[in-house]
Structure 1
Amino acid sequence: MTNYVYKLRPNPTQDLKMSNWVDMLRGHYNWCLNDRIIQYNQQFFQGDYCQIIHEVEACPLTCFVSKNGATGNPWKDCKVDKEGKLKNPRRSASDIQITSLPDLKTSRPWYSGIDSTVLQQNVKRLDTAYKNFFEGRGFPQFKNRSNFTSFTFVMGVKIQGNKIYLPKLGWMRFYNSRSIPDGFTIKACAVRKRQNGWYVSIRIENKSVPDYIAKALEDVVKVIGCDLGIAKLVHLSDGYQIENPKFSTNKKVKRTLKIRQRRVSRQVKGSNNRKKAAKKVGLLHQKISDRRQAHQWKTAHKIVERNIDAIDARKFTYFWNATSLSSEN
């Protein structure tokens, strides 16, 4: 399984529609997160309480003893195994929120224009954030315009030449920089907005392609160690060093960034000129990011081209210690 990234060429109508989708999905994501937080507080800390704004009892959708009707029924689809025990005795918060999506479209008809799988993946995106939290990577945060810029399709995507079909968006042109190999099928695609336009990342898979088989230990002859440096980007155990271009900290880029940021600060807040100046700052950051990523791929290619059988990060430590001791003696 691999991903191919292309730049989209939407017409003005499609561009506006995707921008509206991102705004609505961000609101939906924040609402689902807030609903789960209220449910947790009600269940474990405060008990039943009244919301000051609405002057009614707080009744989150994801509450396991929900008062909102069938959409919050926690005991739906329960099954009994051979031993008489319940399987999946309670529905998860994501199942309840996904089940309530038809009600969301009824109460807020503008959400009907968004593909159903996109809304479902938006809830699963929140599940991934909670999974990361339980693994010790921080509690999910509410999203804003700067950190919520994408949505995902999982079915209905088709490609013909330099056109791609996205459900409820229609056929859209894109820059077909490299064609998808024969035999690969599209599993999902993520649409993301960047400073210079829209991009689509297509996940493709071909089950007939065998997985990479690691070499046997007796076949490994030449091993090289590598380590990240400070003055240099990478140090190799054979003495070869790769320069660090410092795309974001060199003199020219720092001066350009300083000038563009100064222009933003001089504009009136909320004005169109300020938005244009801020976009130029974002384009510079995107250029730095693209150059850095391209250089990393080239660096990895250089290391692999050195006719080696394996790369060991620990080997460099042994090499460095041995070299230091010999130089001191």
Structure 2
Amino acid sequence: MALRRATFRLYPTKKVNDLLHYHRRLHKELYNAAVSNRITSYKKFGKSVSYFDQQNCLPDFKEVWTEYKQINSQSLQSTLKRVDLAFQRFFKGLGGYPKFKSIRRYSGWSYPSFTGWKCHSTGDNGYLELAKIGSIQMRGKSRLWGHPKALDIVHRNGKWYASIVLDVDDEMLRSSRKTDSGVVAIDLGCNDAIAWTNGEENGLISAPRFFRNAEKKIKQLSKAKRRKRSPNYKKRQKASRRWKKVQSRISKL
């Protein structure tokens, strides 16, 4: 068995969309609370807080903050694990010191196992069922399909996505790689994305160059954005609506 990932676009109703944003905000606040707990504990008491310490505090935490009772427990543990991984990367010198996240920079949350959600699909469209949220129509097509194992809910550029981890059978993987001649040699490059040969035929697949094709448009929008009122956190100045609108167009590009 091998793990593969498939991503689908979600199309929630207005009510479900509001619930998705609400759950996203709760996970963001839990993330910030966990970061604050680690910083305060070390500065004031000289004690490091581990992932298991924070995980064991979740039942008491939910007794005080009752809104978290409606969220899957393993999903909350996954958010705490994200904090732990951020600190581990910092201690290993692989990343900066973990910071508090705003809602703009917190993309979503995870379901690390097959609890709290169900996927009703065979790899071609379908719908997703999330506990305490509801059913969501999803569109997309997976190259390979297997048994769903884990799920990430992601919000990006005003759209929702479901990234599903699949346990794919080895026979399906082998059948997807079969060719008429048996073996194909592939070389990845920069000028051409793929150069391939099977001993008899050769071929080149050119690089799509998405950024180069959109670069002129991005420069025009970036120039227009500089004319708008940008956010200034030191002066407590908010960005104008026109700045946000142009920034959204740049992000989509």
Instruction: Tell whether the structures are fold-level matches, with TM greater than 0.5.
Output: yes
> Once the two structures are superposed, what CA deviation does each residue of 1:221-279 show, in whole Å capped at 9, x if it has no partner?
979684x5xxx68799xxx996856438733331133224534559xx658xx346514
Matched, 1:106 2:63: yes
Equivalent-residue separation in structure 1 for 2:156 and 2:77 (angstroms): 23
Please identify which structure carries the higher strand content: 2
Aligned residues: 222
Matched-pair contact (CA < 8 Å) for 2:4–2:168: no
SS at match of 2:9: strand
Matched, 1:284 2:250: yes
1:33 Cα deviation (Å)?
1.0
Matched, 1:115 2:72: yes
Equivalent-residue separation in structure 2 for 1:203 and 1:21 (angstroms): 21
Percent identity over paired residues: 22
Matched, 1:253 2:210: no
Q: Where does residue 227 of structure 2 map in the other structure?
A: 262
Equivalent-residue separation in structure 2 for 1:222 and 1:10 (angstroms): 43
> Once the two structures are superposed, what CA deviation does each residue of 1:109-129 show, in whole Å capped at 9, x if it has no partner?
122222212211100011111
Matched-pair contact (CA < 8 Å) for 1:192–1:200: yes
Query: Structure 1's 206 and 243: CA in aligned 2 closer, same or farther, altered over 3 A?
Result: closer
SS at match of 1:6: strand
Equivalent-residue separation in structure 1 for 2:68 and 2:90 (angstroms): 29
Q: Where does residue 178 of structure 1 map in the other structure?
A: 141
SS at match of 1:247: helix
Equivalent-residue separation in structure 2 for 1:262 and 1:163 (angstroms): 43
Equivalent-residue separation in structure 1 for 2:38 and 2:133 (angstroms): 31
Larger radius of gyration: 1
Q: Where does residue 31 of structure 1 map in the other structure?
A: 33
Equivalent-residue separation in structure 2 for 1:13 and 1:264 (angstroms): 33
1:197-212 correspondence to structure 2 within 5 Å: 197-206=159-168, 208-209=170-171
Query: Structure 1's 195 and 134: CA in aligned 2 closer, same or farther, altered over 3 A?
Result: same
> Once the two structures are superposed, what CA deviation does each residue of 1:85-132 show, in whole Å capped at 9, x if it has no partner?
xxxxxxx72112111112111111122222212211100011111221
Query: Structure 1's 254 and 109: CA in aligned 2 closer, same or farther, altered over 3 A?
Result: same
Matched-pair contact (CA < 8 Å) for 1:151–1:190: yes
Matched, 1:96 2:53: yes
Query: Structure 1's 9 and 243: CA in aligned 2 closer, same or farther, altered over 3 A?
Result: closer
Equivalent-residue separation in structure 2 for 1:276 and 1:224 (angstroms): 45
SS at match of 2:227: helix
Q: Where does residue 120 of structure 2 map in the other structure?
A: 160
Equivalent-residue separation in structure 1 for 2:227 and 2:54 (angstroms): 45
Matched, 1:190 2:192: no
1:8 Cα deviation (Å)?
0.6
- Please tell me the residue identity of whatever aligns with 1:96: D
Matched, 1:128 2:76: no
Matched-pair contact (CA < 8 Å) for 2:87–2:98: yes
Matched-pair contact (CA < 8 Å) for 1:195–1:279: no
Gaps of 5+ in 2: 175-182, 196-203, 232-236
Gaps of 5+ in 1: 45-62, 65-91, 213-219, 288-329
Q: Where does residue 108 of structure 2 map in the other structure?
A: 150
Matched-pair contact (CA < 8 Å) for 1:7–1:200: yes
Matched-pair contact (CA < 8 Å) for 1:186–1:203: yes
Matched-pair contact (CA < 8 Å) for 2:228–2:242: no
SS at match of 1:250: helix
- Please tell me the residue identity of whatever aligns with 2:25: D
Equivalent-residue separation in structure 1 for 2:100 and 2:51 (angstroms): 17
